[in-house]
Amino acid sequence: MSKYIDQIKKLVELQGIDSEMIKLKNRLVEAPKHLEELQASLESVDEQISHVKERLDLLTQQKKKLGQDIEDDSNKVKKSKNKLMMVNNTKEYHAMMREMDNLEKLNRFREDEMTNLIEDIQVHQEKMEELTSQRKSVNEELAISQSTLDSEMEDINKRIRVLEKNRKKACADVPVPILARYNFIKDRLNNPVIVSVRRGICTGCYISIPPQSFIEIQKGEQILSCPNCQRLIFWEEHFNNQDND
Ligand SMILES: [Zn+2]
């Protein structure tokens, strides 16, 4: 019985190492994901910034051209007004008046367009400010996340190296055929490999152990597998009793 208990204890120890190893290796995969998300969000902000900038450049160009057109035509109107004094031909006078009128109408229309352009530019400038501050905060978070990740990864890798050494030691203590059985299950089933039986139920698959197997397991003579999930099983009470000794 004590040899049996000893073997189970070593397997449970091995299980503890493997469980921690699995958790750490998952963390190695999961940890960089937040950083990748931040990088993606930075790229998306940059894309929006370049889009808004393009639009702002275009609007600014339009504003400049429109301002020039307004100025040119209002100069034309001023010149015409001066010339008007010197015209004595009625037909020519009316033609000039009509032209001035058209230019003034055109400029009034342009002034409205200018108002819209200025509003549009303002909206885009506000959007740009918002995106720029968003970019700054994502960038800061990225820098923090990067340095935390680097140190976390380093710690995990250190711990994994310790566990690998511990695992070798723990394996050396387990008889070869039992270790082979453990590794066989480890490669084929989800963790854990060895589980306790509590109140007649396998804590790996939560299904009742058949009475015959339950009688066998209580004898504590050989390492049994759960008939349902195939995990190695031991009777919890054996260890409760040991603790009381
Ligand atoms: Zn089971």
β-bridge pairing 232-235 and 194-198: parallel
Task: Answer whether 0.85 is exceeded by the pTM.
Answer: no
For residue 202, report the distance from its CA to the centre of ligand 1, in Å: 5
3-state secondary structure 176-200: HHHHHHHHHHHHHCCCCCEEEEECC
CA of 212 to the centre of ligand 1 (A): 15
SS3 229: coil
DSSP structural state of residue 12:
H
Q: How does pLDDT run across 18-63, given as a tens digit for each residue? A: 999 999 999 999 999 999 999 999 999 999 999 999 999 999 999 9
* pLDDT (0 to 100) of residue 173: 86
According to the 3-state scheme, what is the secondary structure of 85-133? CCCCCHHHHHHHHHHHHHHHHHHHHHHHHHHHHHHHHHHHHHHHHHHHH
What stretch of H or E contains 139? helix 90-172
Q: Measure 200 CA to ligand 1 centroid, in angstroms.
A: 11
Per-residue model confidence as pLDDT tens for the chain (245 residues): 788 999 999 999 999 999 999 999 999 999 999 999 999 999 999 999 999 999 999 999 999 999 999 999 999 999 998 988 888 889 989 999 999 999 999 999 999 999 999 999 999 999 999 999 999 999 999 999 999 999 999 999 999 999 999 999 999 989 999 999 999 999 999 999 999 999 999 999 999 999 999 999 999 999 999 999 999 999 999 987 554 44
For residue 219 the two structure tokens come to: 């004898």
Nearest Cα neighbor of 174 from 16, 3, 11, 2 is: 11
* Nearest Cα residue to 132 out of 41, 45, 60, 35: 45
* pLDDT at residue 242, rounded to an integer: 52
In angstroms, what is the span from residue 13 Cα to ligand 1's centroid?
19
Q: Cα of 179 to ligand 1 centre, how many Å?
A: 19
d(C-alpha 28, C-alpha 34), whole Å: 12
- Report the pLDDT value the prediction gives residue 2, as an integer from 0 to 100: 84
User: May I ask the CATH architecture of the domain 31-168?
Assistant: Orthogonal Bundle (1.10)
Q: Where are the domains of the chain?
A: 31-168, 176-244
The pLDDT, as a whole number, for residue 245 is: 41
Average confidence score pLDDT of the chain = 94
Neighbours of 30 (CB within 10 A): 9
* pLDDT at residue 85 in the model: 84
| CB-CB contact of 70 with 110 (8 Å) | yes
Measured in angstroms, how far is the CA atom of residue 104 from the centroid of ligand 1? Answer: 91
Residue 124's pLDDT is 98
For residue 167, report the distance from its CA to the centre of ligand 1, in Å: 24
What pLDDT was estimated at residue 244? 43
d(CA 201, ligand 1 centre) in Å: 8
